[in-house]
């Protein structure tokens, strides 16, 4: 992937679309890395006992995974200086099929004086947005 050039960005540019796949293995690995061993993330019976459809992905896993393609796209051209989301829906992770989440990153605003670009993320699972107002600010070198 070629690093972006700040001067070539325009508001409305779709800079990437990426499909992410979460499996139950993904959840186990994330739990180990994060220390979040809440049983709703690995046991269907417990998740269902509290009214969930089954095991769900960790919100912070979804948030981090959604930002990763943008960090890869930026490469050495800049840094993510701010990242904010609203958690709007859960991502159920089926034991056999997992869950596929689509991330689309679009330039939402540009500040030429500060050399920053706001990147708006649309994060979708099963045709529904799972992260609302998901925005990263990229500060370019």
Q: Which tens digits make up the pLDDT trace of 78-100?
A: 999 999 999 999 999 999 999 99
Domain holding 13: CATH number?
Answer: 3.10.129.10
Domain-embedded: residue 32: no
Domain-embedded: residue 34: no
Query: Is-contact 54 45, C-beta < 8 A?
Result: no
Domain-embedded: residue 49: no
Number of domains in the chain: 1
Report whether pLDDT(1) > 80.
Answer: no
Domain-embedded: residue 104: yes
Domain-embedded: residue 39: no
Q: At what angle do helices 24-34 and 59-74 cross, to 10 degrees?
A: 90
Report whether pLDDT(5) > 90.
Answer: yes
* Tens-digit pLDDT profile for residues 108-135: 999 999 999 999 999 999 999 999 999 9
- Cβ-based neighbours of 80, under 8 Å, separated by 6 or more: 67, 70, 71, 74, 136, 137, 138
Q: What is the mean pLDDT of the chain?
A: 97
pTM: 0.94
**Domain extent at residue 67:** 6-22+58-140
Domain-embedded: residue 29: no
Report whether pLDDT(35) > 80.
Answer: yes
Cα(12)–Cα(69) distance, integer angstroms: 18
Domain-embedded: residue 112: yes
Domain-embedded: residue 38: no
What backbone phi and psi angles, to 5 degrees, belong to 52? -90, 160
């Amino acid at each position: 992937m070629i690093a972006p050039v700040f001067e070539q960005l325009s508001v409305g540019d779709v800079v990437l679309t990426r499909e992410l796949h979460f499996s139950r293995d993904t959840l186990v690995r994330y739990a180990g890395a994060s220390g979040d061993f809440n049983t709703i993330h690995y046991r269907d019976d417990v998740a269902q006992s509290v009214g969930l459809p089954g095991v769900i992905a960790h919100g912070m896993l979804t948030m981090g995974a959604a930002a990763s393609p943008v960090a890869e796209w930026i490469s050495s051209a800049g840094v993510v200086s701010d990242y904010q989301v609203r958690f709007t829906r859960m991502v159920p992770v089926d034991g056999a099929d997992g869950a596929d989440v689509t991330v689309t990153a679009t330039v939402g605003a540009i500040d030429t004086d500060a050399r920053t670009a706001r990147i708006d993320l649309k994060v979708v699972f099963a045709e529904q947005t799972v992260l609302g107002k998901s925005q990263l600010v990229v500060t370019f070198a």
